[in-house]
Amino acid sequence: MAFELKKLNNFNGRRGPLLFVIMDGVGIGKRDESDGVFVAQTPTLDNLEKSAFYTALQAHGTAVGMPSDADMGNSEVGHNALGAGRVFEQGAALVSASIEQGDVFKTDIWNQLTARVKNNENFLRSHSLAQKDNASSDVRVSLDNVQKTLHFIGLLSDGNVHSHIDHLLALLKKCASIGVKKVCVHVLLDGRDVYEKSAVKYIEQTENFLSSLNEEFSVDYKIASGGGRMVTTMDRYNADWSVVKRGWDAHVLGKGRFFSSAKEAVETYYSEDAKMTDQYLNSFVIVKDGKPVGTINDGDAVIFFNFRGDRAIEITRAFEEKDFKEFDRERVPDVLYAGMMQYDGDLQIPKNYLVNPPQIDKTVSEYLCANGIKSFAISETQKYGHVTYFWNGNKSGYVDEKMEKYIEVPSDRIQFDQAPKMKAYEIAEETIKLLKSGEFKFGRVNFPNGDMVGHTGKEDAIVTAVETVDACLGKLIATVKELGGIVVVSADHGNADEMFTISKGKKVVSTAHSLNKVPFAIIDSGYKNEYVMAHLSKQGLSNVAATLLNLLGFEAPKEYDPSLIKFV
């Protein structure tokens, strides 16, 4: 069969289960006060570091399919690499190449989007009203009334995790050069993958660029609405649909707090709350003469320019689903909608997209199901999709429901620094039940704390988050040892390991993922000198899949990157 695995001649695995623990956002930092993992009390991790089966893996840059090693990793690409066993060129690289080579502008959907908003003016000019020599002012008013708009919605930063501002600017310039007269940009502010109070920098860069296009091409391009990513538009995994509703209200309906500019909105929110950071800024609407400058209306076109899928799916559903029931949309404009990429290939969300996503096949889950290995996956809502959807190569649902069990522990709807333990203990207890059931040979679990709390930049909360994960990890290791199994521990990228940096002698809070390597460890209750660490010259997350299959007693598929262990 296509997914048949060969058994190893000299190793059959252990009688107990193999558990893979992903400590999301727990990297290997500088081992100083900036390193939340180092500062935290972590007896479990400390013991693992002393083991002969401990090493470090690269979890960013080219090791996970990003354009360069200056690019941070993220949970999406990290889990893709972990679950697929090799590196696929990822969203940022795919989009950059498509724009640079001009391929994105040759697609049918790009032509449809731009033609939709250009043809209105052509239609008017073809009518008799536009031919009257003495009706120029009337014509101008009529054109303003019917001229349709191309809207861009997305995360405004150069974090290169969900989006990149350079992609947006390139698309805007192309629009202006081909005669798209009216564009509105709806900016989602970051402060999470970049410095926590950097929104004004990106807004000013965008405003200056729009002004230059307006002057050079005689177009009308402007920012129309926005808000912080954690409270406006970019919810994921159905965690809090009120986030999406705030975005819908601002972008589509023009409902929200009014400001004369995006910069004014940000600076006002800062002045009202000195502790406010960009990701939590409330939604806002830009107005002129008391009216919103850019609501989304019938006949318009919309591009969601994020390339990463998890926080793009819900707003896409709000635009595309006729029987949408998650909140009252009040008004549903007839628009042509497209994503930068297709965010869910199985569910075809969205229907239209500009750049094809990586085609990931032959995942670990497919091999396990085909070879009769029953498995489970568990996390809380915030990372549930990472150990399912992303792990399975950006595919929704089960690979084989008879062979798998997925469990989602509902996340709290609260800022994570306020509850840094999150649902780690609940996840651990549920995992222990699954392990002790004797039903599953393999399981994977994600503890989100290091990443989700790491993004807040709150040092005390980060330390608590890491200590919580360490305690839960200790419980799981003890259980698997009792069952005669193996535990493999790693992370998808760093975050909690870099709470701040020092710039010009000043502490700068770091809420983004780090560029640090991540730990990898094996705890084998029945080890009898069958294997040793391979110590590869280059080793990253993509080497984990082959290792897991080896520890289950199988040879890795030939297309997988090499295992981190070798048999002796």
Summarised one tens digit per residue, pLDDT across range 462-479 is: 999 999 999 999 999 999
Q: Provide the 3-class DSSP secondary structure of residue 378.
A: strand
Kind and range of the H or E element at 304? strand 301-304
Q: Evaluate if residue 359 carries a pLDDT over 90.
A: no
Bridge-based pairing state of the strands 257-259 and 284-288:
parallel
Q: Evaluate if residue 125 carries a pLDDT over 60.
A: no
**Position 150, amino acid:** L
Fold entry, domain 18-87+359-567:
Alkaline Phosphatase, subunit A (3.40.720)
Q: Evaluate if residue 165 carries a pLDDT over 80.
A: yes
The pLDDT assigned to 309 comes to 86
Active site residue 75: yes
Mean pLDDT on 501-523: 92
- Of 159, 131, 42, 36, the closest CA to residue 467 belongs to 42
Of 138-147, 167-176, 333-342, 505-514, the one with minimum mean pLDDT is 138-147
The pLDDT assigned to 123 comes to 41
Contact by Cβ (8 Å): 18, 486: yes
CA 212/CA 15 separation, integer angstroms: 67
531 strand-pairing partners: 567
The pLDDT assigned to 2 comes to 85
The pLDDT assigned to 146 comes to 65
Domain residues of the chain, as ranges?
18-87+359-567, 94-355
Of 64-73, 429-438, 463-472, 528-537, the one with minimum mean pLDDT is 64-73
Q: What is the pLDDT of residues 395-407, one digit of tens each?
A: 989 999 999 999 9
Of 66-80, 81-95, 225-239, the one with minimum mean pLDDT is 66-80
Q: Evaluate if residue 335 carries a pLDDT over 80.
A: yes
Fold entry, domain 94-355:
3.40.1450
Q: Evaluate if residue 530 carries a pLDDT over 60.
A: yes
- Which residues lie below 8 Å from residue 196, measured CB to CB, with a gap of 6+? 277, 278, 279, 457, 509, 511
The pLDDT assigned to 209 comes to 98
Q: How confident is the model at residue 133 (pLDDT cuts 50, 70, 90)?
A: very low
- To which residue do tokens 């899949």 refer? 545
Of 122-131, 224-233, 330-339, 381-390, the one with minimum mean pLDDT is 122-131
The pLDDT assigned to 401 comes to 97
- To which residue do tokens 């600076």 refer? 267
503 strand-pairing partners: 506
Long-range contacts for 466-471 (Cβ within 8 Å, ≥24 apart)? Answer: 466/26, 466/36, 466/37, 466/40, 466/42, 466/496, 467/40, 467/41, 467/42, 468/420, 468/421, 468/422, 468/424, 468/425, 469/23, 469/26, 469/424, 470/40, 470/41, 470/42, 470/43, 470/44, 470/45, 471/44
Given 34, 51, 75, 177, the catalytic residue:
75
User: How far apart, in Å, are the Cα atoms of 499 and each of 330, 354, 484, 517, 564?
Assistant: 42, 36, 37, 15, 29
The pLDDT assigned to 357 comes to 77
Q: Token pair of 353, please? A: 């997209």
Q: Rounded to two decimals, what is the model's pTM?
A: 0.76
The pLDDT assigned to 344 comes to 76
- Of 174, 23, 100, 149, the closest CA to residue 519 belongs to 23
Contact by Cβ (8 Å): 92, 160: yes
Residue predicted with more confidence, 82 or 358: 82
Of 11-15, 54-58, 66-70, 408-412, the one with minimum mean pLDDT is 66-70
- Of 544, 500, 499, the closest CA to residue 518 belongs to 544
Kind and range of the H or E element at 133? none
Q: Evaluate if residue 459 carries a pLDDT over 80.
A: yes
Q: What is the pLDDT of residues 99-113, one digit of tens each?
A: 999 999 999 999 999
CA 480/CA 33 separation, integer angstroms: 33
The pLDDT assigned to 368 comes to 98
Q: Average pLDDT, whole number, for the chain?
A: 93
Query: 18-87+359-567 with 94-355: one CATH topology?
Result: no
